[in-house]
């Protein structure tokens, strides 16, 4: 296994539990999860949408990352997906900060982590692209 492959696997081992866990709680305990960031879910429509977008989507992304750890051809698409998802989340938080005001410290922490992981994913993906035959 080449060094870039090891780095890709390490990134996915770090990322998939966060996606699966977040997705699980998004489906199983949406009011609790939403309450952590002051989102209120006051209707069955809100609950269904939260479960789908905050639960189902991250859960599926995390499961794909887990499967990618065991399928060589899925490894680098999973790294790209990881990087794109966390970059979009982090940049969306920064954008919200600029147009809506300073969010809570937990949101700023999430943005920092997401952007850090996005940079790691980009570096791993670029190194892998150069190492691939």
Q: Which pTM was predicted?
A: 0.88
How do residues 4-15 score in pLDDT, each as one tens digit? 689 999 999 999
* CA distances, 118 to each of 52, 103, 123 (Å): 23, 21, 9
- If we measure between CA atoms, which residue out of 133, 112, 118 comes closest to residue 14? 118
* CA distances, 84 to each of 35, 87, 91 (Å): 26, 5, 10
Task: Give the whole-angstrom CA distance, residue 106 versus residue 88.
Answer: 17
Q: Residue 109: CB partners within 8 Å, gap ≥ 6? A: none
User: For position 8, what pLDDT does the model report?
Assistant: 93
User: For position 25, what pLDDT does the model report?
Assistant: 98
For residue 8, the enclosing domain spans 3-131
Task: Give the whole-angstrom CA distance, residue 12 versus residue 2.
Answer: 16
* Residues of the chain below pLDDT 50: 1
Number of domains, the chain: 1
> Is the Cβ–Cβ distance between 88 and 67 less than 8 Å?
no
In total, the chain counts a number of residues equal to 133
């Amino acid at each position: 296994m080449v060094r870039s492959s090891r780095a890709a696997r390490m990134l996915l081992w770090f990322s998939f539990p966060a996606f699966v866990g977040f997705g699980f709680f998004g489906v199983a305990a949406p009011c609790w999860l939403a309450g952590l960031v002051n989102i209120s879910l006051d209707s069955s429509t809100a609950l269904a949408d939260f479960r789908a977008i905050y639960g189902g989507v991250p859960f599926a992304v995390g499961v794909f990352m887990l499967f990618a750890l065991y399928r060589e051809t899925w490894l680098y698409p999973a790294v790209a997906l990881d990087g794109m998802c966390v970059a979009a989340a982090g940049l969306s938080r920064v954008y919200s900060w600029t147009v809506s005001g300073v969010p809570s410290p937990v949101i700023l922490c999430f943005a920092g982590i997401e952007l850090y992981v996005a940079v790691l994913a980009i570096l791993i993906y670029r190194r892998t692209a150069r190492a691939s035959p």
